Structure formats: C-alpha cells, structure tokens
Amino acid sequence: MKRQYDFSKARRGAVIKVPRGKSRTSIRLDADVLYWFCKQVDDAGGGSYQNLINRALRAYIEGSRERLEGIVRRVVREELRRAGVETAARRPGASRVRLNA
C-alpha cells in the first residue's frame, strides 16, 4: 500500500453510471422478502435480484386494476371497522362517521 495517493484527477460520484431510464433509490425491505428474491435468483443460476424485484413491481402495477382512490377508501373502511367506527354515506362525496356505543 502506498504511503500517499494522488487524488488530483479524482472525480466525485458513482463509479458505475445509472442506465438511462433507471433511478437509483434506497428502500428498506423485510429480510425475508429480500431473501426470497435472492433465493429465486440463486435457484435460477444467477441474475440480479434487483431486476427481479423491478419486474415483480411492474407486474403488480400493470395487473392492478383497482385505482389508488379505491384502495385508499377500502383500507380506511377496514381500519375504521377495526377501531369500532361505523361509516354511513348518504350520497356520493358525503359521508358521516359515528362511533359505536
């Protein structure tokens, strides 16, 4: 190992350029989920677990027919039901919420 290195021509940034159309991101995944994707790649004899995750997300997006608004409404209703709250909609766009006594 050298005692001193010359960094005068060094550049900051990623060593490998991100391909066009791709974005670098950092996400947190459950260990078992990440393990499953890595195992799939390993069982297939190699490849990229990141590409596999990307393909799985793309398949979900393209296969999902329910609009985001519908998903949010469904999830809110489920959570209100669990919390013991009833909702009653009189007409589209108007709703009342009452607590179960």
| Tally of structural domains, the chain | 2
> Is residue 70 domain-shared with residue 85, that is, in the same domain?
yes
Tens-digit pLDDT profile for residues 31-62: 999 999 999 999 998 889 999 999 999 888 88
> Is residue 84 domain-shared with residue 56, that is, in the same domain?
no
> Is residue 78 domain-shared with residue 91, that is, in the same domain?
yes
Give the whole-angstrom CA distance, residue 68 versus residue 36.
27
> Is residue 60 domain-shared with residue 79, that is, in the same domain?
no
C-alpha distances out from residue 50 to 22, 36, 44, 58, 83, Å:
12, 12, 14, 12, 38
- Flag whether pLDDT at 10 surpasses 80: yes
Asked if residue 1 is part of any domain, the answer here is no
The residue segments making up the domain with residue 82 are 66-101
Using DSSP, state whether 101 is helix, strand or coil: coil
Asked if residue 6 is part of any domain, the answer here is no
Asked if residue 13 is part of any domain, the answer here is no
Tens-digit pLDDT profile for residues 57-83: 988 888 777 677 888 888 899 889 888
Amino acid at 91: R
